[in-house]
């Protein structure tokens, strides 16, 4: 009996031990964890420059495998679990949009999934895109080129992302011609205080499709220019650059600068390029257009009519109209802030003009953009308040009819208290009609800024898009012209 009792106790003990072991072995394995250590935001994809490797680092625990799905044509991806990173690359002809899908597996059947949007920077000439050229801070930084993709993604400095170098100090204007982009800066690699900057110089030429630099001209190459501000391109040998003296023609092949006769005192305003010619203007009691062509290194003067309801004693700005005529914003006074302001549609052939008055004098800014046109809708701003004039060409209407037609659209400061100053001009996308405006909180707090995009046919109470804190003293908006 004692022996049986002892065996019984022994069996119970073994059972307890076995039970304890089984319970311990049945404890679930810890769940795998995975987190990106490379900075990424939910609303912005990972941008990949063609033929450039991108590394995405991560932290992980209790992970046995990290696997990724195959990417579309032109994309390559690999996982290095020892280094805890994923390497990406894309070719120039890769699919622009892609999604990286990965699976993280732990012990047993425990898994978790991650998805990351990818974007190949291989197409900058899509007409649905938008460029914002930034001056940069004159005393501390170079210019930059913000890009808004057709999908609405924002890349703060597309030029630097592609080239690894920067634009000149105080970038001012850019032009499209022959599949290239021409960007002029005021100071190039040295500002008036003598500060030397490391950048690509005063004039940069880039491929419009890839944004890769194809040529660059330093301050020494353009010696003689005094604070250049605006550029127009008629062909490879006829680049027109406006500075404090007037307009020069620059031939990149010979690096020759030739002053254009009759252009002295040309205003700080964007050129209008139409039908193979470039236009600017002169203000005064005999205001006129200045026409530049490849036929001569002298301007052709085109006078405005004298018998108009609102005399033209000052020109605020010009824009090309869809029908080949010219939009001209003018004042009856030579003094800023006084006189009657009018918008006219000017026929360059017979020199006739239809005028409509407006109730405010728009601020021009350093970019020289007083207004923007989309069809017969003219958009302009007084401070951060936007207006629209639907231009009626009826011959029987008086100029004052514009005052009745003028539409108040929106006060941006009422939508965002940080929209304190409109910095430079506004732009209208030539295809969608979306109106873009740049604002900053103040000159001291320019890092707090907004890019607004309004579809006013839909709503004037809320923007269709709004991007914050991307710009650095924006010079203006530019819209790709597509493959040429």
Pick from 8-12, 32-36, 64-68, 90-94: least confident:
8-12
Residue 237, both tokens: 């040998």
Helices (H) and strands (E) in the chain, counts: 4, 37
pLDDT in tens, 313-349: 999 999 999 999 999 999 999 999 899 999 999 999 9
Largest CA distance in the chain: 134
How far is it, in rounded angstroms, from Cα 222 to Cα 185?
11
How far is it, in rounded angstroms, from Cα 468 to Cα 393?
38
CATH fold, domain 33-120, is: Immunoglobulin-like (2.60.40)
> Could you tell me which of 269, 400, 241, 248 has the C-alpha nearest to residue 327?
269
Burial class (CB in 10 A: 0-12, 13-18, 19+), 109: exposed
**Residue 19 pLDDT:** 40
Q: Which residue has the tokens 């059972």?
A: 15
Residue 30, both tokens: 């810890």
Indicate the pairing of strand 154-155 with strand 144-148: antiparallel
Is the Cβ–Cβ distance between 68 and 98 less than 8 Å?
Answer: no
State whether residue 415 is helix, strand or coil: helix
Residue 263, both tokens: 């252009």
Structure confidence at residue 4 as a pLDDT band (50, 70, 90): very low
pLDDT in tens, 255-284: 999 999 999 999 999 999 999 999 999 998
What are residue 152's phi and psi, to 5 degrees?
95, 10
How far is it, in rounded angstroms, from Cα 144 to Cα 177?
20
How confident is the model over 159-173, as a mean pLDDT?
97
Residue % of the chain over a pLDDT of 90: 85
pLDDT in tens, 17-46: 334 444 455 677 888 999 999 998 888 999
Sheet with 247-251, edge to edge strand ranges: 230-235, 238-242, 247-251, 256-259
Is the Cβ–Cβ distance between 472 and 141 less than 8 Å?
Answer: yes
Distances (CA, A) of 289 to 57, 213, 250, 282: 58, 33, 21, 6
C-alpha distance across the termini of the chain, in Å = 105
pLDDT in tens, 376-407: 999 999 999 999 999 999 989 999 999 999 99
For residue 7, pLDDT over 60 is answered with: no
Pick from 8-22, 157-171, 315-329: least confident:
8-22
**Residue 368 pLDDT:** 76
Distances (CA, A) of 39 to 35, 56, 151, 163: 11, 9, 21, 21
Q: Where are the domains of the chain?
A: 33-120, 304-399
Structure confidence at residue 454 as a pLDDT band (50, 70, 90): very high
pTM here is 0.91
């Amino acid at each position: 009996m004692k022996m049986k009792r002892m065996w019984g106790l022994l069996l119970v003990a073994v059972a307890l031990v076995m039970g304890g072991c089984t319970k311990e072995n049945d404890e679930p394995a810890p769940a795998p964890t995975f987190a990106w250590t490379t900075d990424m935001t939910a609303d912005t994809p990972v941008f990949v420059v063609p033929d450039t490797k991108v590394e995405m680092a991560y932290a992980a625990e209790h992970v046995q495998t990290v696997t990724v799905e195959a990417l579309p044509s032109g994309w390559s991806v690999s996982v290095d679990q020892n280094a805890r990173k994923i390497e990406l690359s894309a070719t120039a002809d890769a699919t622009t949009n892609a999604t990286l899908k990965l699976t993280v597996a732990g012990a047993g059947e425990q898994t978790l999934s991650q998805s990351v949007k990818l974007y190949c920077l291989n197409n900058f000439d899509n007409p649905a895109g938008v460029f914002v050229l930034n001056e940069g801070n004159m005393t501390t930084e170079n210019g930059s080129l913000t890009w808004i993709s057709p999908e609405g993604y924002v890349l703060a400095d597309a030029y630097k992302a592609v080239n690894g170098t920067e634009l000149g100090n105080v970038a001012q204007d850019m032009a499209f011609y022959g599949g290239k982009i021409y960007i002029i800066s005021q100071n190039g690699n040295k500002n008036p205080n003598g500060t030397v900057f490391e950048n690509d110089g005063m004039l940069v030429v880039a491929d419009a499709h890839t944004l890769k630099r194809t040529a660059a001209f330093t301050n020494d190459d353009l010696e003689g220019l005094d604070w250049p501000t605006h550029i127009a391109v008629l062909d490879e040998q006829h680049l027109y650059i406006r500075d404090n003296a007037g307009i020069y023609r620059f031939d990149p092949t010979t690096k020759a600068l030739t002053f254009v006769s009759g252009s002295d005192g040309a205003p700080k305003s964007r050129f209008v390029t139409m039908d193979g010619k470039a236009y600017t203007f002169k203000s005064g009691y005999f205001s006129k257009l200045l026409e530049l062509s490849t036929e001569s290194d002298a301007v052709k003067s085109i006078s405005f009519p004298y018998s108009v309801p609102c005399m033209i004693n000052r020109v605020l700005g010009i824009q090309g109209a869809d029908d080949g005529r010219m939009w001209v914003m003018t004042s009856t006074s030579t003094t800023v802030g006084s006189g009657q302001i009018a918008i006219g549609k000017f026929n360059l052939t017979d020199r006739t003009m239809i005028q409509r008055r407006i109730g405010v004098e728009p601020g021009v800014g350093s970019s020289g953009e007083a207004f923007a046109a989309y069809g017969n809708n003219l958009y302009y701003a007084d401070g951060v308040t936007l207006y629209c004039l639907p231009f009626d060409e009826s011959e029987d209407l008086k100029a004052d009819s514009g005052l009745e037609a003028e539409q108040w659209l929106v006060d941006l400061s009422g939508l965002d208290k940080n929209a304190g100053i409109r910095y430079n001009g506004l732009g209208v996308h030539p295809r969608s009609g979306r109106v873009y405006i740049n604002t900053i909180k103040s000159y001291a707090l320019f890092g707090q800024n907004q890019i607004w995009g309004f579809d006013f046919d839909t709503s004037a109470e809320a923007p269709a898009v709004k991007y914050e804190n991307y710009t650095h003293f924006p010079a203006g908006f530019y819209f790709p012209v597509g493959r040429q």
